[in-house]
Each structure stands twice: as C-alpha cells, then as structure tokens.
Structure 1
Amino acid sequence: MTRFPITAALAMGLVIAGCSKTPEGFDRPAGALIDTGHFGNATMNNHQLMTGEKQIIYDMSQRFASEVMTTVNFAFNSAELDHGARDTLREQAQWIRQFPEIRFRVYGHTDKVGGDAFNKRLGLRRAHAVVNYLASQGISKSRLEAVVSYGETQPLIVTEGRERRNRRTVTEVSGFVARHPTVMDGKYAEVIYREYIRSAEPVSGLTGLQGQDLAVTQ
C-alpha cells in the first residue's frame, strides 16, 4: 500500500480550503475598487474641458474680478450694508445683468473676534445681505448662492483683534445656468466675447468753461 506523503496532503488541504472561500476583493461589484465616488466627477471634468465650459468659467471669473470690486466690508458685529457697500454691489449687479447665463456665489467672512459658530452665522448673514441686495437690483436669486460661510478661517490680515478688511463678503463666478439656451447649445465663447451694454455709451460728458460740450473720443 502506497502511503501518501503528509506534506502533500497538507498542501492539498490548504488548496481546497482556499477554493472554498471567495478571494479578497472578488466579492465586490465590478469596478468598485476603481470607482471611489469620483469617477463621475472626472467624466464631468473631461466634458467641461472638451466643450470649453471649464475654461470659460475660469475666464469669466478673472474678468469679473478685474472689472468690478468683488469685495464689500462690514462694521464690527454687523451684516448691514453701508453706502460704500451698496455702491459696489450696484456695480456688481450691472455686470451680472449682462451675463444671464452665469451663476454667482457669495462668501461671507468675519474677523477673529468671537466664537467660531457665532462667526460662521455672522458670515452667512453677510452673504445673504449681499444676495438680497443684488436681487433688489434685478438679479434672480436662482443665479445667486449664499450658502457658504468661511467665518473667521480665511483672514486677509492675520490678527486676533478687530480688522475691517477681514469683515467682508466676496462675490465670485461659480458656473453656468444649466437650462439657459446659450449654455444648452454649448455656445460658451459667445458669453466671454459678448460686448458690454455700456460699451456703446459715452465714457463721459465733459462740459467746457463756456458751456460747450467737449467731444470725448474713445
């Protein structure tokens, strides 16, 4: 009678035992290890790059920031808009009205005086104050978002004390209105190259010492 080697028997037992258990990772749906939740985001990112949407959003953000004041400031512990803030927001509204395809986001900030929870609420109140004023200037609230507040976490001036420059809101381009006809047609270039309404208006109307209008050449 031939005796089966003990070592061979042990090895076969291990193989059989291994076959009775699903290998590590193979009990998951196909693609589960690849798609960690960001796969769709990458696809959308590629789509935005190929259609030019992402670049246009960036370009419009740069254009907005270079052509109007994007920041307004507030008094200590206040979300009230002063005269200077309202002037700035009227300029923002004039710019925004010319680009109905674009959405905007308003970020609220505070200085470092006070607790974090209180400052986040205050920053959000400031953002809502800006959104409400822009809406009063004819901008649809569907294009304005005031849900993000950085509170005291992003100061312009690093100090523990009161600092007006830190008590601010910042208005930024956040994207396109998804259902706007221009956006649906993918005509993003039309947005960034559109001429301003005010470009057809005279730069100024100066009057001479003798009451004669001076022509202003553009």
Structure 2
Amino acid sequence: MSKAAFVKSFAMVSLVAVASCSTEAGSELDEGSFGNPTMNNILVETGQKSYAVDLAKRFAEETPSTINFAFNSSQLDDNARAALAIQAKWIAQFPEMKFKVYGHTDLVGSVAYNKALGLRRAQAAVNYIESQGISRSRLAAVVSYGKSQPLVDTNNPNRENRRTVTEVDGFLKNHPTVLNGKYAEVVFREYVASAAYQTELTGTGAAGNSQ
C-alpha cells in the first residue's frame, strides 16, 4: 500500500471512529414520549426525566389507563366512562403533569380508516376527561396509532386491540412547583383515591360518534 493510500485509509477510519463516539448523550432515551434527544439531555440533567418516568409508572399502576371500544366505534360505554373518571381524579391531584391519549384499533379495515378511527377514540377519551374538570391544555396531544400496535396479533375483530391508552407526558413548564424544581414532592405526593374532583361533572354522556 502506498503512503498516500495509507493516509487516506487512516483518515476514513478516524472519521468513522469519531462519528461512532459523537452520539448525543441521552439520545437512546428518545422513544417519542419525552421529546427529542436534546430535550432528553435537559430532562436527564435536571432530574425531570426520572421523575416523569416514576410518575408514569404510578399512573399505570394506580389507574385503569386503558379503555376498550365496540367494533368500528368510538362510543364510550359505561366501563370506559368509569375508567376515565378514575383517570381524571388522579390527574386532578397532580396538576403539574400533562398527559397524552393514544388511540388504537384492531386489524380489520384499511390503514387510513383505522388511523382516523383511532384518533376519534382518543378524542372521545380526552373529551370525557375534560368533562371531569381537567383543563384541555393538559391533554393537548392526542395521538392515533390506528392498527399499527396491536396487543393481539389477529386479523379478526379483537376488543383488546380496540383501545385508548392514557400516559403521563411530562411536566408543565410554567407550573410553580416545576419552576421551583420540586419534582420529588410531586412524585411522592400521596394519591387519595376517594378525593373529590376539582370541579363538578359537566356531563356524563360519551363523546365522539360511532362510525
């Protein structure tokens, strides 16, 4: 190998090595729930990330975070409304937090139709939580996965797949507790299951229409 060829080869190897070492710290944490890698760096450095994850686990453990739907419907049944009421009661006691609702369908039908149906289901869930006195600004993000993330891999109608899932989405930036960095106080706050809603119920009917 000539000297020029050796130098060129060495330079290429060096570039690959530098590139492999320059992955942004925290980028492996970016799974769509807490922003991009740069934001994840900030969350990790300030402790917000771990606290938000802890609260997400608490919410999943202490509430029925998933509701289900009839075939080809975004109508909330009695069980769904009861579950969402419990979610709203929990959310009301943690005003520093914001949430996302993800809509899903079973595998019957086209991708486009099911994405729209998943969105209607998510909107129905958000509308009902809002009717329990929760500010819409804390439920601003509504996401539809349609039929792309089934729990049960079957092409037949399946109720488990027809669902919405409510999840913690992080801290509100401008809440006084958050501004003072008191994340631990939020995480370790006792959830009182019997607590009353912050406001009276504004409606008990289901939101969204059957299609």
Normalization by structure 2: what TM-score?
A: 0.73
1:192 matched to 2:197: no
Structure 1's 197 and 44: CA in aligned 2 closer, same or farther, altered over 3 A? same
Among residues 56, 78, 93, which one is paired with 2:51 in the alignment? Answer: 56
Check the 8 A contact 1:120/1:149 in 2, yes or no: yes
Matches of 1:53 and 1:146 in 2, distance apart?
A: 19
Deviation string 1:52-108 (CA, Å, 9 cap, x unpaired) is: 100000000000001111100000110000000001001101100000000000000
Cα drift, residue 42 of structure 1: 4.4
Check the 8 A contact 1:90/1:137 in 2, yes or no: yes
The gaps in structure 1 that reach 5 residues or longer are 1-33, 202-218
Cα drift, residue 195 of structure 1: 1.9
Q: What RMSD over aligned residues (CA atoms) do the two structures have, in Å?
A: 2.3
Check the 8 A contact 2:101/2:141 in 1, yes or no: yes
Specify the code of the residue in structure 2 equivalent to 1:131: V
Aligned to 2:75: 80
Aligned to 1:156: 151
Among residues 149, 172, 197, which one is paired with 1:177 in the alignment? Answer: 172
Deviation string 1:120-160 (CA, Å, 9 cap, x unpaired) is: 00000000000000000000000003431000010001000
Among residues 125, 133, 149, which one is paired with 1:130 in the alignment? Answer: 125
Normalization by structure 1: what TM-score?
A: 0.71
Structure with bigger gyration radius: 1
**Percent identity of the aligned residues?**
60
Matches of 2:189 and 2:121 in 1, distance apart?
A: 31
Matches of 2:57 and 2:134 in 1, distance apart?
A: 20
Would you say how many aligned residue pairs link Structure 1 and Structure 2?
167
Matches of 2:92 and 2:179 in 1, distance apart?
A: 19
Check the 8 A contact 2:90/2:193 in 1, yes or no: no
Matches of 1:200 and 1:77 in 2, distance apart?
A: 35
The gaps in structure 2 that reach 5 residues or longer are 1-21, 28-34, 197-211
Cα drift, residue 184 of structure 1: 1.1
Cα drift, residue 51 of structure 1: 1.6
Matches of 1:177 and 1:50 in 2, distance apart?
A: 17
Aligned to 1:8: none
